Amino acid sequence: MTDAVVPARARSAIVIGASAGAVEALLALLPALPAYSPPILVAVHVPPDRDNMLVPLLQTRCGLHIKEAEDKEPACPGTIYFAPPDYHLLVEQTGDLALSSDEAVHYSRPSIDVLFESAADAWGAGLAGVILTGANDDGAAGLAAVARAGGFAMVQDPTQAAASAMPEAALTACPRAQPLSLAALAARLADWSAR
């Protein structure tokens, strides 16, 4: 008897990156996502000496399980994983999560580019990438990597972002990305996840 090959789920994961203005954007976006969502990995620029207060804040408002990512943990559907402060969050080829204390990228650890690029390598066309508000260009190269791998690339409309630099940089690096309002992003992600 041979082992049956089980095809990978078509919609493997969602990665989200945010910086300045992240709390408001994530409070609008994440509670609107359905419980059937694939794993959602989030990198937010948080100072290394501060706790990530988004996890407890969102736990009371979301229908999805929310936690800080742990090293070598499998990425499970219906769960939102936040990169811990002062650690890069990466995705291994197995789909498991990994944490790294390598050098900061774009002055940030966690880096959005590091997360998006590793997720694009692991999940390819089964990945959706979203860049939200922020005041630098972290995430632009990562979102372009998601698009090159065949994934779905979206950006918060810079005119509606608290800080427009990050979504603008992402649109420059990834012209295929769709600029959308937070409500439209949530609707697109729900539709994408259901396919």
Per annotation, catalytic residue among 12, 111, 118, 138: 138
> Strands 79-82 and 178-180: what pairing?
unpaired
| DSSP conformation letters of 16-57 | EEE-TTHHHHHHHHGGGS-TT---EEEEE---TTS--THHHH
| Three-state DSSP class for residue 90 | strand
Backbone angles phi, psi at 124, to 5 degrees: 50, -125
Per annotation, catalytic residue among 12, 37, 45, 137: 45
- Crossing angle between the packed helical segments 165-173 and 140-148, to the nearest 10 degrees: 30
Q: Please, what's the largest Cα pairwise distance for the chain?
A: 58
Q: Is 106 a catalytic residue?
A: no
Q: Please report how many Cα atoms fall inside a 13 Å half-sphere around the Cα of residue 21, on the Cβ side.
A: 20
Q: Is 19 a catalytic residue?
A: yes
Task: Compute the 3-state secondary structure of the chain and give helix, strand, coil in percent, each to the nearest 5.
Answer: 35, 25, 45
Per annotation, catalytic residue among 19, 37, 111, 118: 19
> Strands 88-91 and 97-100: what pairing?
antiparallel
For the annotated catalytic residues, the residue numbers are 19, 45, 138
